[in-house]
Amino acid sequence: MKQKPAVSIVGMGYVGLCTAATFASRGIQTIGIDIDQARVEQIRKGKAPLHEPQLDTMLKNAVKKKLLDATSEISVAADTETTFLAVGTPGQQDGSIDLSYIKNATEDLGSVLREKPGYHLIVVKSTVVPGTTNGVVKRFLEQSSRKTIGAGLGLCANPEFLKEGTAINDALHPDKIVIGSNDKKSADELTRLYRHFYGSKLPPVILTSPEAAELVKYASNAFLATKVSFINTIANIAQQIPGVDVGTIAEAIGLDPRIGGLFLKSGPGYGGSCFHKDLQALINYIQNRNYDPVLFRATEETNKQQANRVVGMAENLLGSLSSKRVAVLGLAFKKDTDDIREAASIRVINQLKKKGARVVAYDPMAIPNTKKTLSDQIDYAENAHSALKGADCAIIMTEWDQFRQLVPKDFQTHMTAPNIVDARRILDPKQFAQLNYLAIGTGSVKA
């Protein structure tokens, strides 16, 4: 790299890499740091190690222009002015978050900053429970760097709100930036960086304490997850009432600005790496402080049960699922990603297997990741048509655009009988009226 990089980002996963690519796209010298050497090599070649729309092109350009580089050597962080921590904070058995990646990264970072003569700002982008930035992170940084936050080091909590599948667009056009800090200089430095990044399009910046910033992230995900479980509950009610469709209910209530129309799509339950993990972390965090957040436990339980609803709909069509061949269309937790972490498809597949069904699955992107989890417990098809071949039932689990293109003939031609469970409500019920078609939240049958 010719120029000194201005920003380093520790952790080149969804958040770190998308952040790095967008920083670089705005001319900010960025270096990504990851312990995964294979990932680093791939990034250095300008190839994204994960599927995210626009990322490949952006990465290729940034690497070509030498605005983005990657390494597994954390020592390079000392040559930058600001280091973002974007390592994983996975859930543990009891729901609490595993802070070991944060601790390791923080300790390593502190050590390499020990000899740095100038000021260095550290920004916690990972999702961490309230008190983590000012607790563990601060302690580890100060111990290993032998410096003091507020003097040689700056520290901010700056949670990330991007969504997989639209991560690049979200990073370029966030609705807000939340900066939590205990000292003005840290907050000013980070605001300055974002002002440089966004120019006149700087979104609203909420300046607050680290603990409040950390809680904003959990509150945001808890609200969204609860909205999903809410509309799924309404869908399950609508499904019991002939002639009622949850889509109409969602449209009508969504027009009330207090409710809002977004995130009111009923389906097989939320998935992805964040909602379940973050809700569990929040529940665990506050239960340890003697408050039981009943609402969030219900959100999670509703979500878990939604997979059973989907399988129940298949049973409505087939009776017993034993030895039946079920085609699962879609594995990714949502379209335009290859991520299957906490995907509803996996919960549904596990239920189907338990009931003795033979499962064949197809997904345009997520088969390699699914194979790592389910290996040969299920069959994999090369396309939707071959998945449908000889199937007794098809379950649409991900709203991929290519599944929207399916027409009745695709099912009639290939399946033993055209039994369809549309867990994403992406097909036109009128077009499929002649087939055995059930959509979640449509009241035509007893679920």
Ligand X SMILES: NC(=O)c1ccc[n+]([C@@H]2O[C@H](COP(=O)([O-])OP(=O)(O)OC[C@H]3O[C@@H](n4cnc5c(N)ncnc54)[C@H](O)[C@@H]3O)[C@@H](O)[C@H]2O)c1
The footprint of ligand X (CB under 6 A) covers 10-16, 33-36, 39, 86-89, 101, 104-105, 126-127, 160, 162, 164, 273-274
CB of 192 to ligand X, least distance (A): 23
d(CA 8, CA 79): 9
Q: CB nearer to ligand X: give 25 or 158.
A: 158
Share in percent of the chain as helix, strand, coil (round to 5): 45, 15, 40
Closest listed residue to residue 91, CA positions, set 49, 139, 129: 129
Torsion angle of C-alpha atoms 136, 138, 142, 147, degrees rounded to 10: 180
Q: CB nearer to ligand X: give 236 or 273.
A: 273
- Residue 42 exposure: Cα atoms within 13 Å on the Cβ side: 15
Residue 151 identity: A
Closest listed residue to residue 365, CA positions, set 407, 406, 398: 398
Residue nearest to ligand X (CB): 13
Residue 81: its H or E element: none
Q: CB nearer to ligand X: give 33 or 384.
A: 33
CB of 69 to ligand X, least distance (A): 15
Both structure tokens of 179: 């900066």
Q: CB nearer to ligand X: give 61 or 75.
A: 75
CB of 160 to ligand X, least distance (A): 4
Out of 18, 156, 274, 393, the active site residue is: 274
Q: CB nearer to ligand X: give 99 or 387.
A: 99
CB of 242 to ligand X, least distance (A): 39
d(CA 425, CA 309): 14
Which of helix, strand or coil describes residue 325? strand
CB 209 within 8 A of CB 283: no
Count Cβ atoms within 10 A of the Cβ of residue 372 and give its class: 0-12 exposed, 13-18 middle, 19 or more buried. exposed
CB of 73 to ligand X, least distance (A): 10
Closest listed residue to residue 49, CA positions, set 274, 338, 332: 338
Q: For the chain, what is the radius of gyration of the CA atoms?
A: 24
Q: CB nearer to ligand X: give 12 or 310.
A: 12
d(CA 141, CA 147): 8
CB of 140 to ligand X, least distance (A): 12
**Residue 18 annotated as catalytic:** no
Active site residues: 274
